[in-house]
Structure 1
């Protein structure tokens, strides 16, 4: 049974002590607050430094039973050490240290046996510089941080691997040309310089991808909206593939005439179209179909209507498609539909760009059996044009 906010007498539940709470919590509505319902570990020590609360999450994270530590001095119940082997409670001295301190920021500490845990603390005092009345400690496992660190390490390793090949080529050809310029014919020089130029462009794309990922992950991807002719943009990308040697009969473009005016970032829309068409040409087969049509999107929660105008772009091919079990992972980092090169970052960036415009993107099996990507962008017109 949980304890209602405002009750000062602690109560027990399943061997764990419910924390004494004081004063009504805003918006609590009279509901009880049970520490065992909290997702993070919670440990509370009283004014004497003895543990009066040890919730279920704390027991799970520390592998210590609540019944074994309730009433013990904090340094015995939770014998933390920093990464240099120093006893944490002796080092920070929450009860005897500076009275102006209000807590400890989260940091990585060690439990006996080397178990890592993320710990933060808040010092609750009678008055701003008064004696410590209660020490509230939050515990979290390190699994989520480890996953994030592995993801960043994998990103760095992938980018480093992809950069090594073109940079080696650039270095080799430029060194050769500088050392033996007179020995090569004009055609040989042109071929080597064209290779250097192509590899330099590849490095530039990789760096741009890395910057895009950084901005997407931090929520700082900027969208510079202006009118975009989506039909002309599709035409440019198709023509680029035809110029590069693909037959014009491989592409089927269907553009509806009644398209709404689209306000978006033209460079980023080019990036989305380029990636989707490149995937369809490289990994798909048969005819690549691009359809552009009006669409409706979910409107803002406070809007008078539930729908607003938008533009839908669908890119599909007739290749083997994407296995059903992989559909959910298509837009994650490092997903590759085949082993034929690529960093596996393109579709992750595409999704980030579309969502930065307030749109959505989906993937499914197309009518011809291949992959079908469909993204919908809201019109995005400025308020003065609405």
Structure 2
């Protein structure tokens, strides 16, 4: 294995609490995060029996170590799933345990316990509640419109001429499309969050896809001179999911047209990008870079880290605030990276890089 000098991770470097007990149930590891979560020092925990060093109770007040009995319980048991437990004083903590055996069915050699605070779960619950509220709000408007027009047409069909009926039905059709798009966004978010966004790779022509999207905007009434497409050099062979990449391009172009000003410039060029993500070694992506920039007021520097998060909105011009979150999920599912910066003219500049070449399943 190549790629730099990587020191082993120390228990104290881990963000979660880690407690490890030996074959006799004595604590041998009690990291800093465990100290912070339990309020107990490692000095007083090391060498102490696990049930004393980490006195846990379930939400019914029962002693957890007696219930689970890691050393004397079923020999086929490999651990305990994460659950809410209580420390002395009623402090709530998320606990997960794994039983390490030298052989299947053999005696437990180590018990490895991970601890997490409940703040992360509460943030997730708040995020889900916000998502539900946003979806309910976004669904209410088109569904109210659909219900109103269909009820009116059913009750008073004969009173309207063909032109009036057509306008009402076109409105119903457009609102139904809004509902379908919102449901598609929700399904994408669910798959992204679960790491199950399916990418159906085939050979794609990104330059042709960009031109097709621009032609669609022009056909919808946007002046053709508002767009400037630039393709620099021959692009490498590109594989990806054409439908998902269409989502990315459509979202970025729509944002540039709706929220930006002046000329929307779309650039495609070969690229070599260094990607550094927390918890993983740096890697270089060689492929195609697509940049979409405008000449508007841009996005404030302090807002840029939030652009790809859920519910972020750059203006008050509607939308769910989910589009760029989905865009980032799609690009990363392709093995790529997306970034935002200020364009030379001051507007917003989105740049994503997709790895080129033949995908692994073709080799």
Using the size of structure 2 for normalisation, the TM-score is 0.81
CA contact (8 A) 1:46 1:52 kept: no
Change (3 A) 1:358 1:129: closer
Q: CA deviation at 1:132?
A: 6.8
| Residue 262 of structure 2 corresponds to residue 286 of structure 1 | yes
In the other structure, the counterpart of 2:89 is 113
Change (3 A) 1:231 1:106: closer
| Residue 268 of structure 2 corresponds to residue 296 of structure 1 | no
Q: Distance in 2 between matches of 1:227 and 1:361?
A: 21
- The one-character-per-residue Cα deviations of 1:262-305 (angstroms, maximum 9, x if unpaired) are 3332212221111111001110112222233x3133599xxxxx
Once the two structures are overlaid, the 10-residue window that deviates more, 277-286 or 138-147, is 138-147
Alignment of 1:224-373 (within 5 A): 224-256=200-232, 258-292=234-268, 294-297=269-272, 308=286, 310-373=287-350
Structure 1, unaligned runs of 5 or more? 1-30, 301-305
Change (3 A) 1:82 1:256: same
Using the size of structure 1 for normalisation, the TM-score is 0.77
Change (3 A) 1:192 1:95: same
Give the total of aligned pairs. Answer: 348
Change (3 A) 1:178 1:380: farther
In the other structure, the counterpart of 2:174 is 198
Change (3 A) 1:97 1:355: closer
Structure 2, unaligned runs of 5 or more? 1-6, 276-283
Alignment of 1:1-386 (within 5 A): 39=15, 40-42=17-19, 44=21, 47=24, 54-66=30-42, 75-94=51-70, 97-98=73-74, 101-123=77-99, 136-256=112-232, 258-292=234-268, 294-297=269-272, 308=286, 310-381=287-358
Give SS of 2:318's match. Answer: coil
Once the two structures are overlaid, the 10-residue window that deviates more, 244-253 or 128-137, is 128-137
- The one-character-per-residue Cα deviations of 1:4-51 (angstroms, maximum 9, x if unpaired) are xxxxxxxxxxxxxxxxxxxxxxxxxxx99976565523153774x676
Change (3 A) 1:131 1:324: closer
Give SS of 2:350's match. Answer: strand
Q: Distance in 2 between matches of 1:384 and 1:41?
A: 38
Once the two structures are overlaid, the 10-residue window that deviates more, 79-88 or 51-60, is 51-60
Change (3 A) 1:180 1:359: same
Q: Indicate the RMSD between aligned Cα atoms, in angstroms.
A: 3.5
In the other structure, the counterpart of 1:15 is none
Change (3 A) 1:86 1:238: same
Give SS of 1:108's match. Answer: strand
Q: Distance in 1 between matches of 2:152 and 2:320?
A: 29
CA contact (8 A) 1:44 1:54 kept: no
Change (3 A) 1:317 1:98: closer
- The one-character-per-residue Cα deviations of 1:145-198 (angstroms, maximum 9, x if unpaired) are 333333333223322222222122212221221222122222221111111111
Q: Distance in 1 between matches of 2:248 and 2:9?
A: 47
CA contact (8 A) 2:18 2:29 kept: no
Q: CA deviation at 1:241?
A: 2.0
Once the two structures are overlaid, the 10-residue window that deviates more, 207-216 or 244-253, is 244-253
Change (3 A) 1:36 1:177: same
Once the two structures are overlaid, the 10-residue window that deviates more, 132-141 or 354-363, is 132-141
* Max Rg structure: 1
CA contact (8 A) 2:285 2:355 kept: no
Q: Distance in 2 between matches of 1:382 and 1:66?
A: 48
